[in-house]
Structure 1
Amino acid sequence: MRQAPLYSRSRRAPAGASSVAPETPVAADASPAATPAVAPSRWRGWFGRHERLLWGFSGAVLVLGGVAGWQAINPAARALTQADIDAAVRHSLEKEPLPSAYAKAYEIIAPSVVRVVGTDGDEPDRAKAEATPDAKRAKPGPLPKAAKPVPGDRKKQTASDSPEPGEPHLSTSTGSGVVIIDNGTILTNLHVVQGSKKLRVTFADGFESDATVVGVEPEHDLAVLRAKSIPDDLQAATMRSASDLRAGDQVIAVGYPFGIGPSVSGGVISGLKRDFRSPQGQRLLNNLIQFDAAANPGNSGGPLVTMDGSVVGIVTAILNPTEHRTFIGIGFAVPIDSAANAAGMPPF
């Protein structure tokens, strides 16, 4: 049996061998160049089978590289903390402080507050009214010796002064009021206008008009006035029931104390459902709001206002056991619920 020839891996022929190489059998389907091209063909085939995967991988690498480069150029902002927010708020408040709650409430109610001047003559004297708010009508009488006029230095007569010889007597009083209907309906105290033959009101923009009494409610010391003419764009106050008031709630009193104004003072509700009898004992008022915002003669008839700018009461009296009639920390207001009834408005 014939054996297949054995081949040496050495390229050199063994010693003594013939220079003629024996004939080597070749497979029928083999080609001389097939053996050296095996490895490159495998890589080409692998790349061909995974071409899409390679392109996707290359794109992802490029995107990640771009993102990394952008972040290197533009580093991410630091996350805000509560300390950062607090510091920004403090800076804003220091630069532009917010108005107080009192100031906001006054800004809302100011266009609706009026000055009310009453006189028992034909022509009210504004200087006299400003000097003697809520004054009692003076009666003619002899001039006290200590108050005799000095030639060349005649003082102006006020409601608390007696008339000088040869001068007509004119008594005036000044109080406050608040517009409750934009047709010129004004709410004030009855004692501000009682006994006056002529009434004149001055609105917030300086516009003046005569006024008449169209309604009274003596049990609550309230009077309703109607101005004969009104300014353009007259603004009525917003009224709010006093039923939800609590002791400690902040309020402001707005009016013309001693004819000076409009003036605003701030305080709190001191109590509810209080009773008060006038110093003369002529009238007992009940279900009043007690407050400690400063009020003086001339504030009568003005609004008592909450911090949202709503009217909850009409300032009507102050308590002072002395004869000075000045504020010592206790003021009273009629709840707006009663005042609305006096104006013929539906209750809250």
Structure 2
Amino acid sequence: MARLPVPPEVPVAVDPGDSEERVAEPSRIGWLRRLSRRTWAAVVAVLVVAGIAAFVALRDPGPPPLTQRDVDQRVSAGLEAHDEEEARAPAEASVAYATIQPSLVLITTRGANAEGEYGGTGAGVIVNAMGTVLTALHVVEDADSITVAYTDGTSSPATIASADPDNDIAALVPETPPETVVPAVLGGGVQVGTPVYAVGHPLGLPGSLSAGVVSALDRDVRVDGNRRLENLIQIDAAVNPGNSGGPLLNSAGQVVGIVTGLANPNDESLFVGIGFAVPIATAGGTAGGPPR
């Protein structure tokens, strides 16, 4: 068998200007072509998100730094808002008055002595769920009849259940309590300078409130009948005939004392700047309440 000669290798002409990179280019393009469509979509998505982020960053550099003027304006606005809120809030005296109203009573008395028949008025406050009324003893002492009138417009005869002459305090039990009994909340002790409010019926003016502060504590005074009352609260809130037996309140409307008298160097029963109240820690025991 005849053998065919092997053709000689034909040399491939290479352009001297071509580089190694150009020679390798067909293989690189082939690698890119082998990428799947899903991979291409992911790459495009990443590029789009990066472009949007860069655009937003360039357009929104963020809030400018605060200046001292900005701080002052914000502080001023906050203070104005606080002042407006306080202005809309009810006054402490209004809160105290509204709180005690359902528990306040008007006491009227009738009696007779050597000079003939007489009548008197005073104030009292309901202190328990049974409708017991706490008042000053001198308002009801020696009276032939006692009537208590409630703020709901009803009234009832009442009798003295217990009395404490040493502290001028009496507890009354009405025959008929109000339809809705709202006992007052009894408060704790007070300090000199504490705002207080006396509520009663001075000079026959029902449901009156006067405001002041605690002027002193532990005062001893002499009252009608040559009796001496001790450990009283001294106040500068106005009290007059008709206030006796009424509650002395703190800013929350809690009863901190029972008004018992006033000091007047002219021997007239009109207020001249100094009133007294029995602390509720003392007065509450007459109505069967625990010491506070």
Give TM-score, length-normalised by structure 2: 0.80
Q: How far did residue 286 of structure 1 move? A: 0.2
* Distance of 2:77 and 2:29 partners within structure 1: 59
Question: Counterpart in 2 of 1:89?
Answer: 82
1:42 to 2:28 alignment: yes
Give CA-to-partner distance per residue, 1:302-340, whole Å, 9 cap, x none: 011111211111000100010321111111101111111
Match of 1:112 among 103, 128, 143: 103
Partner of 1:226: 173
Which residue pairs with 2:90 in the alignment?
99
Amino acid at match of 2:212: G
* C-alpha RMSD of the superposition: 3.3
Change in CA separation of 1:70 and 1:333 when aligned onto 2, cut-off 3 Å: farther
Find the partner of 2:241 among 297, 300, 306.
297
Alignment of 1:148-163 (within 5 A): none
Question: Equivalents in 2 of 1:337, 1:233: separation in Å?
Answer: 26
The 5 A counterparts of 1:263-342 are: 263-278=208-223, 280=224, 282-342=226-286
Q: Structure 1's 36 and 268: CA in aligned 2 closer, same or farther, altered over 3 A? A: closer
SS of the aligned residue for 1:110 comes to helix
Tell me how far apart the structure 2 counterparts of residues 283 and 239 of structure 1 sit (CA, whole Å).
26
- 1:338–1:47 Cα change, 3 Å: farther
Q: 1:314 to 1:90 in 2, by over 3 A?
A: closer
Partner of 2:49: 60
Gaps of 5+ in 1: 1-22, 28-34, 122-136, 141-169
* SS of 1:252 mapped into structure 2: strand
Q: Percent identity?
A: 38
Cα shift at 1:57 = 2.8
SS in 1 for 2:88: coil
Q: How far apart in 2 are the matches of 1:259 and 1:116? A: 11
Aligned mates of 1:260, 1:64 — CA distance in 2? 77
* Aligned equivalent of 2:5: none
Distance in structure 1 (CA, Å) of the matches to 2:114 and 2:79: 62
Match of 2:196 in 1: 251
CA gap 1:36/1:298 in 2 versus in 1, 3 angstroms: closer
Partners of 2:29 and 2:199 lie apart in 1 by: 96
- Once the two structures are TM-superposed, the CA of residue 246 in structure 1 deviates from its matched residue by 1.1
**What is the distance in 2 between the residues matched to 1:210 and 1:70?**
84
> Of Structure 1 and Structure 2, which has the larger fraction of its residues in strand?
2
Partner amino acid for 2:110?
T
Q: 3-state SS of the aligned residue for 1:199?
A: strand
Letter in 2 for 1:217: D
Q: Quick one: distance in 1 between partners of 2:180 and 2:33? A: 86
Instruction: Spell out structure 1 runs of 4+ moving beyond 4 A.
Output: 35-38, 46-53, 65-72
Distance 1:200 1:326 in 2: 24
- AA matched with 1:261: P
Q: Relative to structure 1, is the Cα distance of residues 274 and 69 closer, same or farther in structure 2, using a 3 angstrom cutoff?
A: same
Equivalent positions of 1:202-241 (< 5 A) are 202-241=149-188
1:194–1:46 distance in 2 versus 1, CA, 3 Å: same
**Match for residue 287 of structure 2?**
343
What are the Cα deviations for residues 137-194 of structure 1, in whole angstroms up to 9, with x where unaligned?
6714xxxxxxxxxxxxxxxxxxxxxxxxxxxxx4110000000012210000111001
Aligned residues: 269
Aligned residue identity for 2:80: A
Following TM superposition, by how much is the alpha carbon of 1:25 offset from its aligned partner in structure 2, in angstroms?
1.8
